[in-house]
Amino acid sequence: MPPLRVIPGGAGTTPRPVDRDGPAPRPVDRDGPAPRPVGGDGQVPIEVRRARRALPRPEASADAGAGTGVRARKRRRRMPRRRLVAAVLVLVVLAGVAVTGRVVAGRSRERTASTASATTAATPTPGRPSPLRPSPVVATIGTGGFSYGMVAGAGALWVVGSDEIYRIDPASDAVTASVPVGATGSGPGGVAVGAGAIWVPVAVPGTLWGINPETNKVTSRIPLDGPLRGSLSVSAAHGKVWIACCGESGTGASASGGRLLQVDPRRERVVADIALPASPVAVAADASGAWVATAGGQVLMVSERRNRVTATIDAGGPLGFSQTIAVGAGGVWLADPFDEQVVRIDPRTRRVMSRIPAGAATTVAVAGDDVWALSSLGLLRIDPARDRVVATASDPDLRRARFVAAGAGAVWAAGWSSVSRVDPDLVAP
């Protein structure tokens, strides 16, 4: 028997010739491993004989081949249907992704719109994302209690507590002194800087306390001719201290009247007690006298020389908030929360110069050529040259603040139990 070179691997398999000079390769068999070649003695090994007996007959192989062809044709006929189903599934998935993208994008736009007023962002560059500006709040100083007012001057920030005045040092952003005021009375009712001292009125028993900013010690207690009622407001300028008080609250407060006291610190006495035709809520003093904001929305000009009301300006709606008026930067500035504006009055003509949209503004301060206001929008920077808001800082801490002061190298915003220091260079157009 001639040597067997290769055993077919099954129906339809064509054996490949083997090089006579080398061992026969092992052909690939779809039904199992290829049997080994015949041994050198010419006998077919038992494994090969078993494999040959297991091979199908030619007619069976043909039938099998025919069956295989039928199954292949069926598979080919089924393939388009599977591809169609897969294509439909892909389209469904893509449609779902598109709808989800629209929903997510719509929600993202809604969130962006709802928080746009609370985000400080730089001007966007085409093709680039808009970088957020750094927060203008560079320090937060705890005061340990409720803040009733504050003023900047004499090299520090002075904050009114329940029964003491806190001194905050701008160099360290820390409380460096605490001065007890009115321990046996009603506590401090406001604070002002000027006329050589820090001035704090106390409603009961009715006293004006003077604090030396060099020593942080109380140096004077000036009687105010009896207890004071209602809200208190104080301002100092050109050697005089002005205290607005004694207005009635509630309906008809604008017609109930009030009092404006002028105090001479050098003589340590009240030199004028001026009746007001409307209930006062805030006072700001300059060289000409005192400007008094009333609960009914009027501004009263009280002359220092005449010690009486010399002008009444109808500025806006009812106010009812303290520290709503400031003088400087070429105007008298009034925060009008109900009409959502800051009103500018010309101190020479004593008429309204402009009404600046500013949201519900409740407090204003002036430093140099800038006017600062706290409103429902945040901390606003107003340019007096253009009579408009040029920048807004809407950080959450600033939106919750109640008082604002400017000076000592910064802008300050007081919340319930802390003060935020704001870098004015970071609140810019």
Per-residue tens of pLDDT for the chain, all 429 residues: 444 444 344 444 444 444 444 444 444 444 444 444 444 444 545 444 444 444 444 444 444 444 444 444 444 444 445 444 444 444 433 444 333 333 333 333 333 333 333 334 343 444 444 456 789 999 999 998 889 999 999 999 999 999 999 999 999 999 999 999 986 778 899 999 999 999 999 999 999 999 999 999 999 999 999 999 988 999 999 999 999 999 875 544 445 789 999 999 999 999 999 999 999 999 999 999 999 999 988 999 999 999 999 999 999 777 766 558 999 999 999 999 989 999 999 999 999 999 999 999 999 999 999 999 999 999 999 999 999 999 999 888 788 899 999 999 999 999 889 999 999 999 988
What pLDDT, on a 0 to 100 scale, did the predictor assign at position 185?
73
Q: What gap in Å lies between CA 108 and CA 187, rounded to an integer?
A: 50
Residue from 234, 233, 191, 232 nearest 213 by CA? 191
| DSSP three-state, residue 285 | strand
Residue 183, pLDDT score: 65
For position 396, what pLDDT does the model report? 84
Q: Give pLDDT, residue 397.
A: 78
Q: How many helices (H) and strands (E) does the chain have?
A: 3, 28
How far is it, in rounded angstroms, from Cα 135 to Cα 116? 15
Confidence at residue 400, expressed as pLDDT on a 0 to 100 scale: 85
Beta bridge partners of 149: 160
The pairing of beta strand 280-286 with beta strand 341-346:
unpaired
Q: What pLDDT shows up at residue 184?
A: 72
Which CATH code is given to the segment(s) 141-426? 2.130.10.10
Measuring CA to CA, which residue among 346, 406, 354, 345 is closest to residue 380?
406
Domain ranges of the chain: 1-13+33-79, 141-426
Q: Which helix or strand (DSSP H or E) is residue 97 part of?
A: helix 58-114
Phi-psi region at 257: left, alpha or beta (left = phi > 0; alpha = psi -120 to 50): left
How far apart are the C-alpha atoms of 303 and 291, rounded to whole Å? 9
The two structure tokens encoding residue 26: 């092992």
Centre a 10 Å sphere on the Cβ of residue 146 and count the other Cβ atoms it contains: 13
Residue 188 pLDDT: 93
